[in-house]
Amino acid sequence: MDIACKLWRLVALMAIQFLLFVSQTQAQAASTDFASPLHNECILNARELRVVSTHLGKVPATLRIPPHVSRPPIVLWHGFGSPASESELMSRLPLDDVPAIKVYLGLPLFGVRAPAGGTDELVRRQKEDVARLVFEPVVWGAVKELPAVVAALERHGCMKGGDRIGLFGFSAGGTAALIALAEHKVRVSSAVVLNPSTGLTSSIHAYEHATGRAYAWTDASRRLARRSDIADRAADIAADRHAPALLIVTGDADSTIAAQDLDNLKNAMSARYREVGAADRFAYAVMAGLPHNLVGSGSEQELQPRLSSWFNRFK
């Protein structure tokens, strides 16, 4: 009996050890499967440009990784109109003259995260309440996701902890970029916004102009406007001499964003950057012939070198 008991104890102990070994191995494999592909791409010394489609946190992303990387990543957001996806934005603005990893993010409710019903559902949301059902989940949603994106880039070795990223946004993506600068949830060295809505109020102006429908403001949407209207948050963006270097680019053929909204933004940001002694870190450029959406106009050819120059100047 003693021998039998000892034998059963030995068998049980071996079984427990085996189960622990399997559990640990599976956990390590799961961790490796999640982290290795992107981690290897970011630290690989390759001779060729690489494009990687992945998720950073829960955010779909396309990374454009140059052969030589000497600057922290640049995170880029598309807009509602062309370019309206991370892949289309990359094709129009690859920014290959900047030796940084470019991280093109999909906005919430777009691409693989589009709601059931697709465009029809977005139109329905727009008609019901463009502020609460479109602007807030898309624009503010993107801003809220950004810290997790940066944490994922650090975890995968695509940037060092404490690095300050570059930031770009087009149209609604430009609004997200401006709000992110004001919120200070991530460290940003330089930013470019292209044909941005200047906040919820500006987006409502564009909606009313495009549809001919008057928006019914509510207490909730007014609170959202106060948090997102960037002309009123200039001091939050430019708190001191080390404010993020900000370039705002607009097209004189943009009929979507009200000129008065853009003038208000320009004046507020310019004044604030001067007040804190950072006038050299703010610029506002109007490009002749550039419409709101990037649809192959001749002035598009000037965009890429202008943007690349800004990101190469400030890091």
165 within domain boundaries: yes
Q: Which domain holds residue 52?
A: 46-313
305 within domain boundaries: yes
Give the pLDDT score at 294: 86
**Averaged confidence pLDDT in the chain:** 87
Count up the domains in the chain and report the number.
1
Give the pLDDT score at 178: 98
6 within domain boundaries: no
271 within domain boundaries: yes
Burial of 117 per CB tally in 10 Å (0-12, 13-18, 19+): exposed
The model's pTM = 0.86
- List pLDDT tens digits, range 225-265: 999 999 999 999 999 999 999 999 999 999 899 999 999 99
Q: 257 and 198 in contact (C-beta within 8 Å)?
A: yes
Give the pLDDT score at 37: 60
245 within domain boundaries: yes
34 within domain boundaries: no
Q: How confident is the model at residue 185 (pLDDT cuts 50, 70, 90)?
A: very high
Give the pLDDT score at 18: 32
Mean pLDDT calculated for residue range 220-225: 96
- List pLDDT tens digits, range 12-67: 333 333 333 333 333 333 332 233 467 677 876 678 999 999 999 899 999 999 99
Q: 293 and 82 in contact (C-beta within 8 Å)?
A: yes
Percent of the chain, pLDDT > 70? 86
Mean pLDDT calculated for residue range 144-171: 95
CA distance 132 to 59: 21
- Which stretches within 239-299 are classed as H helix? 259-275
227 within domain boundaries: yes
- List pLDDT tens digits, range 187-205: 999 999 999 999 999 999 9
- List pLDDT tens digits, range 62-87: 999 999 999 999 999 999 989 999 99
CA distance 53 to 87: 9
Between strands 188-194 and 59-65, the pairing is: unpaired
Say whether pLDDT at 296 is over 90.
no
- List pLDDT tens digits, range 254-279: 989 999 999 999 999 999 999 999 99
162 within domain boundaries: yes
CATH number, position 174: 3.40.50.1820
Give the pLDDT score at 47: 80
